[in-house]
Structure 1
Amino acid sequence: MTDPAPRTPDHPVDPAFPARWSPRAFTDAGMPPADLLTVLEAARWSPSASNTQPWRFVYGLRGSTGFAAIAEGLTGGNRDWAPRAAALVVTVAQTEGRDAGGNPRAQRWAEHDTGAAGLAMALQAERLGYRAHPMGGFDPAALHRALAIPEAGHRIMAVIAIGRQGPADLLPEQHRPRETPGPRQPLAELAFEGRFGG
């Protein structure tokens, strides 16, 4: 198994954050439904503006028709490795809701909250001994159709592959060089006091 290269934070943080990364090499180990529900339960408790909880998830365990439909909607190199994962989860932001009077209302924070839920899933998966890899390489129209996700007011944000990490040689050769944790930009290039750009 590929050991994550050490990543040194600029400031002290819980080790879970720099230890988390998104491998592509998964073993053929399955995932009990209860473990996947625990991962989704963690997402349920994510921060949510006005408690709107605008995230929705469509998931499948490997071998199910749902998993096959999600895998079919992947594009590019993701099709080479993601079908080995134990589970695939589609994260959907519900971008339209209702106000107190029942009138339609844009939920402009939905994408932010759905992203937070995705991180909660990844960290919970790590606690259970799995790895999670969010992907942007998918065909939104195909997934909307195949999974009956409404087009109006729903935006597919990512597909997350979850499984037990395996050695890089499980991957097609072209993906092996990338099977290592990536570096991060210095915090000073990302966070600014008082004015954007410092």
Structure 2
Amino acid sequence: MSTVTPDRQALTEAPIEEILSMRWSPRSFDPRAVVTDEQVGSLLEAARWASSASNVQARRFIVGRRGTETFDRIERHLMGFNRAWAPNASLLVLAVAVVAPEGDGPVGAHRWAEYDLGQSMANLVSQAHALGLHAHPMGGIEVAALQAEFDLPERFLPVTVTAVGTVASPDLLPEKHRERETAARTRLPLDELVLVRD
């Protein structure tokens, strides 16, 4: 059974908000599209207001627009196929977890930092969709190289890079990857994900 409608909306087991069911992660981005200062501000503001354990806000962001040095510095540390499609995105956002407080705290003291960072990026991705953009988070990144590239302290851990832009035709992708771009969206059923539900 298909888990997506022709417009790529997920077919869910229970009703959810359309902004969530319509969210998906394309790889084909319009290489001419730009994001405005206002849009970038909106994306980052959404990330800023995500939940935060004890309001520590253990997350930081490095943002580069296509055509800038920052974009290139992020892009050169993507891995594998990500390097083939991500350069067409309008924006690359490096998401960094602050895994320890400044000073004498041991690395890992903020054990929830990556979780909080994930909530920030989920907000950013949803806000992108609300603005008519799309976002594609990537875990295939060179963590140590990005840390060195931006001279980040040990307690600043690069976790993901998210490409943001305007979705384009799958025909812009290499032929072997086009089918994946249009394949049905799938998720494990709830009864496999939920261990206990009373």
Q: Same fold (TM over 0.5)?
A: yes
- One of 19, 23, 26 as aligned partner of 2:22: 19
Which residue is equivalent to 2:105? 104
> Secondary structure of the equivalent of 1:97?
coil
TM-score (norm 2): 0.90
Equivalent residue runs for 1:55-134 within 5 Å: 55-97=59-101, 104=105, 106-134=109-137
Which residue is equivalent to 2:180? 178
- One of 182, 190, 193 as aligned partner of 1:190: 193
CA distance in 1, matches of 2:186, 2:152: 35
CA distance in 2, matches of 1:66, 1:54: 22
CA distance in 2, matches of 1:132, 1:16: 13
- One of 155, 158, 176 as aligned partner of 1:156: 158
> Secondary structure of the equivalent of 2:34?
coil
Whichever residue aligns with residue 144 of structure 2, its letter is A
Which residue is equivalent to 2:3? none
Q: Are positions 1:142 and 2:145 aligned together? A: yes
TM-score (norm 1): 0.90
CA RMSD of aligned residues (A): 1.7
CA distance in 2, matches of 1:141, 1:103: 22
Question: Which range is displaced more, 3-12 or 139-148?
Answer: 3-12
Shift of 1:112: 0.4
Shift of 1:191: 1.1
> Secondary structure of the equivalent of 1:179?
helix
Whichever residue aligns with residue 168 of structure 2, its letter is G
Shift of 1:169: 0.5
Whichever residue aligns with residue 39 of structure 2, its letter is D
Shift of 1:144: 1.1
CA distance in 2, matches of 1:194, 1:121: 29
CA distance in 2, matches of 1:147, 1:104: 22
Identity score, percent: 41
- One of 30, 43, 46 as aligned partner of 2:47: 43
Whichever residue aligns with residue 95 of structure 2, its letter is T
Shift of 1:194: 6.0
Which residue is equivalent to 1:167? 169
Whichever residue aligns with residue 57 of structure 2, its letter is Q
CA distance in 2, matches of 1:103, 1:159: 28
CA distance in 1, matches of 2:8, 2:60: 33
Q: Deviations over 1:134-173 (max 9, x none)?
A: 00111112211212222x1122110000000001001122
